[in-house]
Amino acid sequence: MSGLTKPRVSSGVLGLLLVLGLAIGTAPFSAQAGSGTVEKDKDTTKALFEDGIPDDIESWAEDNGATVNAQEERIDYVRFALDSDTEGDEFLDKLRNRSDVTWANYDAFARTTLVPNDPAWPVQYGPRIIDAPEAWNKTTGDDAVRLAVLDTGVDGTHPDLDAPCGLDRGSDSNGHGTHVSGIAAAEIDNGGHIAGMAQIDLESYPVCDNNGRCRISDIALNIVEASASGVDVISMSLGGDCETDDSAFCRGLQEAIDFAWQNNVVVVAASGNDGRERDVSEPGSMDHVVAVGSVDADKNRSSFSNGGFGLDLVAAGEDVRSTVPSTSGVCGPEADLMCNLTGTSMATPHVSGLASLLRSVCPSLANDRVVDVLTDNTEDLGDGGWDRLYGYGLPNADVALTDAESRCDGSL
């Protein structure tokens, strides 16, 4: 598993969104990922350049009816905002006709990967089914380990999250980012609401709007920024599809993930909520990403959980109790700083939290070794070995930490 280079699965028309599937308004995008529907942003384009971003790109953009509003020199990636009177297809043609442009297209949106649910579980079963309480006898985490959550933000004033968030408290008017952050890193033994997987430094990178739409260029830019800053783990409870039959919209995202991998970052993402058995959503299906699907409290695959060759692990994703702001769009006005949500969004931070625990017991463990430990120490739930519905299975946190300690000692 070292390197997590994943085979590509062709299933005809692939959509283009990273679907976060919020239980609130669907915004313009309402089709399921994989339907071929792409939520393009016709006011924004992006491009990858060969051999560096040109020095005159800002003046060139202005001359052609656009403005450079973001660029990332570490992956030669530029985003352009089009003037109100600029026709998008014409500007794209000009970009694509430049000899130094390797790819250009409209920007597009992803979504957070949760689905509508009815709260049913008054207690947390997610940490229990992966033996996290036993693992916590070895470590509950180290605040030197940095976990970056790319989502709708985080309510750092929540009593379970004010310590993990440190000084960078942030805000989250939607609630999805706060929910997944709590699963990964809510404070333990504070007399509060829930126990998070790992007591580490939680860092929020808001890439999704209040409706759960996540601009793909923002995801790529923030992956690079977080990786360059030295984070240990990136968690993305978002997903969708990046291709149609005749166009690609997510170039730059794989380059950003490759940059993270080269900087020794473990990247974890949701498999998606479309119920597909042979097609994991992007970025989970991309190289160097641990894709996480969902199971219920009885360890059965959730009907909505995407599977396929890109799937690596599964974790609790149905009726998962976690933290939300006092006013939360995803849980409604009656939530008392907690609610139950369902989706591969909820499964993902169980694994990114466990990856943070592995880095806590062995800070020198390289990212490919972390992935090996995660996928080698699992409860096999489907067909023997890897299978398309459960991947390598349900991780066992206690056994994984023992394995990480032994590898850190140099015995493996």
Known catalytic residues?
151, 176, 345
User: If DSSP codes are grouped into helix, strand and coil, which group holds residue 105?
Assistant: strand
- Report the C-alpha gap between 157 and 383 in whole angstroms: 44
- Report the C-alpha gap between 239 and 177 in whole angstroms: 14
Rg (CA), the chain: 20
Angle at 143 between CA 371 and CA 394, to 5 degrees: 30
Give the DSSP H/E element, type plus range, for residue 291. strand 290-295
How many other C-beta atoms lie within 10 A of the C-beta of residue 92? 17
- CB of 110 closer than 8 Å to CB of 214: yes
Residue with tokens 């009815």: 118
Sequence-ordered list of residues with C-beta below 8 angstroms from that of 376, at least 6 positions apart, any chain: 1, 392, 403
Torsion region of 177: left, alpha or beta (phi above 0 gives left; psi -120 to 50 gives alpha): alpha
- Report the C-alpha gap between 348 and 315 in whole angstroms: 7
Alpha-carbon distances, residue 212 vs 53, 120, 136, 206 (angstroms): 31, 23, 33, 11
Q: Which residues pair with 320 in a beta bridge?
A: 341
Q: Of 249, 182, 326, 278, which Cα lies nearest the Cα of 48?
A: 249
Residue with tokens 């023997």: 384
User: If DSSP codes are grouped into helix, strand and coil, which group holds residue 217?
Assistant: helix
* Phi/psi of residue 162, nearest 5 degrees: -65, -35
